[in-house]
Structure 1
Amino acid sequence: MSGSNTPTNPGVASGGSPIVLPDQVPLPVPRPVREGEQTPTSPNAGDEATSEVDSTVAACPNGCPRCCAKITTQQVKDMWPSAASERIEGTKDAFNEFFEKFEINTCLRKAHFFAQVMKEVGPKIRLVESLDYTPAALKSTFSYYRNNPDMADLHGRVPPDQAADQEAIGNHAYGSNSQLGNDSIESGNGYKYRGRGYIQVTGKYNYEQAQKHIDSEYPGSGVDIVTNPETLGEYRTGMIASMAYWKAKKINLKADMGSTGDDVDRVTEIVNKHTKTYADRRKNFEDTTKVVFKVAECPNHP
């Protein structure tokens, strides 16, 4: 959810309810591995960069081995070629831990999910919003600083001697914002609840709504991003929150409709309705994630 003081990073809107897909079936029980047989996780089956499928199940119930396969390091690198290895591995591991639980378990759903996430976190997989703004950027981005230009000069980054005061920027840009649910500037809510996660959440209200999605879709998770907002910037919690939002808002139903630009736009409209980045997200899907997850080759593609 975006307020007047909020840049392009979206929050999480309220609403949504648990969904049980009609075609959901239990995962099959893997058959025993025959003597001498190689599996995708066997040491002699090739390294991850060259293995097309890395799955914990012997076969997918919907007929496509890639649909229920774990993502690989190489696939994440293909989406984020300039990201650090640690962020690539952290993202891969977090997705693989939860994608079945939250039913992002078809080639098309993965492609739609990551097309959005690519734009949300940027080319470096940044899970915590940077507030490293120059005075000019502060004035053009946030209404508070447009109305208080002297404060922009005080808080913004002015090379070579003045670093951005990011805590002050967060508190002034996002504080006293009823849309974001933040209290006064002095409360520290603005910086405390700055943008975090794979689908970025900004503002105390939106953190509270995200927590409701987590509690609804993953009861007993142990996650509490309202009390511990910094954890939303961690791989595991960031992925849980984003996937819980995705499922609670029934985005899979939109993703399942197809792979056209209009289909991507329908997903974007839920994730960040008022963003100016619809074209970027279509491009992410068409040029990258649709290719990475071989959507055109999937027998389940509509």
Structure 2
Amino acid sequence: MNRTLLTTLYPKAPSSHIDAIAANGDAVFSSFAITYGTNRLSYFLAQIGHESGGLTIFTENLNYSAQGLAATWPSRYAVKEGSGYKKDANGKYVPNDVANTLNRKPEAIANNCYADRMGNGNEASGDGWRFRGRGYIQITGRDAYRTLGGYCGLDLENNPDMASDPQHALTVACAFWKWKTINPSCDAGDFTKVTKLINGGTNGLADREAWLAKVEDALKSYPPAG
């Protein structure tokens, strides 16, 4: 993988991650068919650019304030009012008692928010924190770690930090790409659908599209191989 391409796209990324992708990227991309077909590589590089903040964020930041929790997940953490949720004079959701209790407690937030879903155990199990978002695409939940571990031959369920390790992060992200069957949407040129397959919605679509424009421009100057 062309190192100059990587440093142009992700100038603030740690050298350990740049070095690993430069050394292993061609083989990893080839094994997951990401260098074949139209748009696959450009869409991948753009999406991980958004998801990881330009390869600078490898573990989910859950240091939410009570207000932040209410704003992000009103159905869980805002005061219920009628058929909706209560807002203050500034139009912001009012945190409920749970949000106030969890204020600025990342581990407790993860265990509460991610309990009893995505294959995680209950709040007391600690699975929410153990299987919080990691890696270039922020894989989340015990089911994802177990499934992706099977795709890439890594015991992620018992070693979740491997998902953000520079030696494995690219393989894990590519395994996610395969798991969600994203390549056909790349071939169809449907970047919005790719975003939905990754995110479940279109959160951050404008930033993802800006990343795509940056990637496509960089690929004209720096071919991926070499």
| Band the TM-score falls in, shorter-chain normalisation | 0.7 to 0.9
Hey, what's the Cα distance between the residues in 1 that align with 2:22 and 2:96? 42
CA deviation vs aligned residue, 1:53-102 (integer Å, no higher than 9, x gap): xxxxxxxxxxxxxxxxx231x22222223334344334444534512222
Query: Which residue of structure 2 lines up, in the alignment, with residue 17 of structure 1?
Result: none
1:24-43 correspondence to structure 2 within 5 Å: none
Hey, what's the Cα distance between the residues in 2 that align with 1:183 and 1:233? 22
TM-score (ref. length: structure 2):
0.78
Q: Give the AA of the match of 2:182.
A: I
Gap regions ≥5 residues in structure 1: 1-69, 157-163
2:12–2:56 Cα contact (<8 Å) kept:
no
2:48–2:54 Cα contact (<8 Å) kept:
no
1:7-18 correspondence to structure 2 within 5 Å: none
Q: Is residue 2:105 matched to residue 1:170?
A: no
Across the aligned residues of Structure 1 and Structure 2, the Cα RMSD in angstroms comes to: 2.7
Q: Is residue 2:45 matched to residue 1:114?
A: yes
Gap regions ≥5 residues in structure 2: 80-94
Query: Which residue of structure 2 lines up, in the alignment, with residue 146 of structure 1?
Result: 78
Hey, what's the Cα distance between the residues in 2 that align with 1:103 and 1:146? 44
Shift of 1:117: 0.7
Shift of 1:211: 3.0
Query: Which residue of structure 2 lines up, in the alignment, with residue 226 of structure 1?
Result: 157
Q: Give the AA of the match of 2:137.
A: I
Moved more, 82-91 or 275-284: 82-91
Hey, what's the Cα distance between the residues in 2 that align with 1:248 and 1:203? 14
TM-score (ref. length: structure 1):
0.60
2:131–2:140 Cα contact (<8 Å) kept:
yes
Query: Which residue of structure 1 lines up, in the alignment, with residue 91 of structure 2?
Result: none
Q: Give the AA of the match of 1:244.
A: A
Q: Is residue 2:186 matched to residue 1:255?
A: yes
1:175–1:184 Cα contact (<8 Å) kept:
yes
Shift of 1:115: 0.9
2:17–2:167 Cα contact (<8 Å) kept:
no
Distance 1:120 1:291, change over 3 A: same
Hey, what's the Cα distance between the residues in 2 that align with 1:194 and 1:110? 26
Q: Which of 294, 299, 302 lines up with 2:220 in the alignment?
A: 294
Distance 1:234 1:264, change over 3 A: same
Distance 1:194 1:99, change over 3 A: same
Secondary structure of the equivalent of 1:128?
coil
Q: Give the AA of the match of 1:85.
A: S
1:180-259 correspondence to structure 2 within 5 Å: 180-212=118-150, 214=151, 218=152, 221=153, 223-258=154-189
Higher helix share: 2
Hey, what's the Cα distance between the residues in 1 that align with 2:168 and 2:55? 18
Distance 1:124 1:245, change over 3 A: closer
